[in-house]
Amino acid sequence: MNQKMQARAVAADRAGLALRFGAGFLALTAAVWTFAARAEDQKIIIAHGISTFGNLKYPADFKHLDYVNPDAPKGGEISEWAPGTFDSLNPYSVKGVAASLSSIFYESILSSTADEIGAAYCLMCETMEYPEDRSWVIFHLRHDVKFSDGSPMTAADVVFSYELFRDKGIAEYRSVFNDKFQSVEALDDYTVKFTFTPGTPFRDMPATAGSLTVVSKADYEANKRDLEESSLQPMLGTSPYVLDSMKPGQQIIYKRNPDYWGKDHPLQIGQNNFDRIRIEYFGDDTAALEAFKSGVYTFRNENSSKQWATAYDFANMKNGSVVKAELPNGNIASGQAFLFNLRREKFQDPRVREALALMFNFEWSNQTLFYGLYDRINSIWDNTAMAATGPATPAQAAILQPLIDQGLLPASILTDDAVMAPVSKADKGLDRGNLRRASALLDDAGWAVGDDGMRRNAKGDTLKVEFLEDSPAFERVISPYVENLRALGVDASLVMVDPAQMSQRSDPPSFDFDIIVGNAVNGGYEPGSELKQAWSSVTANNSTRNRAGVADPAVDKILDLVEAAQTREELDVVIQSLDRVLRHIRFWVPQWYKNVYTVAYYDQYDHPETLPPYALGETSFWWYDADKAAKLKSAGVLK
């Protein structure tokens, strides 16, 4: 068999054989495929974008995205709220609290869309070229891309930005840029080549390279900026919006750049429609809602089921000035959960974590507190084919069995159902059956009930658990949970802090918490390298995406397979296996989600009749209706 035929045979058989023979074969065949492909003269693909699996939806000559209104008027303002405060406009540093939308100043070479999975299109490039194995990519940059000050963006800025994030970026960036990029070079002023490290799964690498945030080299050096420091002076980017004004900690306004280089780009037609995007800051959600009622800001994405059910009966709602709507949300469930700090000794025993999880009564909370608006989260990939269900399938077993043989997983992970969130009775806050199960687990784990009713270990230490929270809206949810835990004999408490303290205590390097509310990173519909940033052992003590501190060798080994998957079917099986193992670890107490956006806004905005499945897009492809706004102003509703 010649080399070309061998390469084709490997490609054709790889998915089925990998599922039959497991993780070791998957890694081995990846290496074989890479070797076979490189041994021949590969076809070089020149395109206007790239897709992880399959074809791009939009052709090279598309005029605009399907879900925008190409004739949407420009003008007006949209205003929203943010909690707490801010003291920085640098979203790429762990220092300080970055302002909401502070990444708005920057663009990348490629751009995704809101109606397609796994696709990235040339924004700042005319075309891209890459070999079939995707071991390198060359971007042919557009000559008309300008930074916000009018200076040209060139390949030198791209190389500089890569080196900047490689050397000074937060852990999430460094873990990718240091290990997977062999070289990045400017071939001329408007051509840049990324070559990826041999042995790296290349599937996602061209898109990863194209997602690099690009900043101005000249501006960075002339103004002595520092990516690692907080700053109220943003770096210079190329985006449609620039800073208009700010009151640190109170308000920030972004204004549309009328000279934006890409305003006629097919990806930008019908987008970036507002002249201003204003963000108002409030100390808590109650104050923010009252401000919305009086028109201090004009668009609200409501996250509180109680407020959605009971609080929207104010005057401007009753007179029709405010629209209340439930809009479709096709995104994966957020993975919102109570996260255990696995770095703490008391959480090392999974029986302790399971016992604590049993005491959260979602069913009662949903009925009593949430007006029945939510569903329970069970999987990190809920609402997709990537969620693990029931016992392991033969395909999953092929991946998991080698890890069992190495002593990294129990054999029961193949036969047990994927771990589900515990179910409680909804009629009372405390489910007695779950209380008994949790008591038995803590007894087995060595936390006995003392004379005072509190659980203690053999050293006499009390099982003390502190919930750290900065949102008053969560107090009514956490307090009943605390009461249930105290009934179990756990010395549980809720500590409310301000957002700055929350950031300081929950972020690296301190990780000074027991339990916080956070999101389990799922990487979207086509997970890739970002999962290592969230779940890999090397990020357990330095990443804001791995706040739980997950560090498990079985997880690490499965993560190596994510980027190696060459088909949609392979990826689904790998993620199902990862989901099964992560849920087995019990790093979380999963919370809830809803499959609609619950929004309210002053009736001066319009949106496309059919919204895309993967974005609400209110600051992007919605627009301002001047006639409607004039009526609200003449009626004295808005100033």
Q: Examine the domain organization and report whether 469 and 586 are in the same domain.
A: yes
Q: Examine the domain organization and report whether 430 and 563 are in the same domain.
A: yes
Report the SS3 class of residue 479.
Answer: helix
DSSP assignment of 146-211 equals B-TTSPBP-HHHHHHHHHHHHHHS-HHHHHHHTTSEEEEEEEETTEEEEEEPTTS--TTHHHHHHT
Residue 4 has pLDDT above 80, yes or no: no
* pLDDT score of 334: 85
Q: Examine the domain organization and report whether 398 and 251 are in the same domain.
A: no
Q: Which residue has the tokens 């406009």?
A: 89
pLDDT band at 175, cuts 50/70/90?
low
Provide the terminal-to-terminal Cα distance of the chain, rounded to the nearest Å.
77
Q: Examine the domain organization and report whether 430 and 502 are in the same domain.
A: yes
- Confirm whether 209 is domain-assigned: no
Residue 396 has pLDDT above 50, yes or no: yes
Q: Examine the domain organization and report whether 370 and 479 are in the same domain.
A: yes
- Confirm whether 288 is domain-assigned: yes
- Confirm whether 62 is domain-assigned: no
- Confirm whether 2 is domain-assigned: yes
DSSP type of residue 73 = P
Q: Examine the domain organization and report whether 344 and 384 are in the same domain.
A: yes
- Confirm whether 527 is domain-assigned: yes
Q: What is the rounded distance in angstroms from the CA atom of residue 311 to the CA atom of residue 319?
A: 15
DSSP type of residue 88 = B
Q: What percent of the chain has pLDDT over 90?
A: 82
Q: Examine the domain organization and report whether 601 and 538 are in the same domain.
A: no
* pLDDT score of 32: 32
Domain range holding 626? 77-105+239-330+595-634
Q: Examine the domain organization and report whether 472 and 567 are in the same domain.
A: yes
- Confirm whether 180 is domain-assigned: no
Q: Examine the domain organization and report whether 279 and 341 are in the same domain.
A: no
Q: Model's pTM, two decimal places?
A: 0.76
In this structure, which amino acid lies at residue 80?
A: E
Residue 39 has pLDDT above 60, yes or no: no
Q: Examine the domain organization and report whether 315 and 364 are in the same domain.
A: no
Domain tally, the chain: 3
Q: Examine the domain organization and report whether 614 and 586 are in the same domain.
A: no
Tens-place pLDDT, residues 316-375: 999 999 999 999 988 888 889 999 999 999 999 999 999 999 999 999 999 999 998 899
| Mean pLDDT of the region 6-20 | 32
- Confirm whether 132 is domain-assigned: no
- Confirm whether 366 is domain-assigned: yes
H-type alpha helices, 204-358: 205-210, 217-222, 285-293, 305-310, 315-318, 350-358
Q: Examine the domain organization and report whether 415 and 316 are in the same domain.
A: no
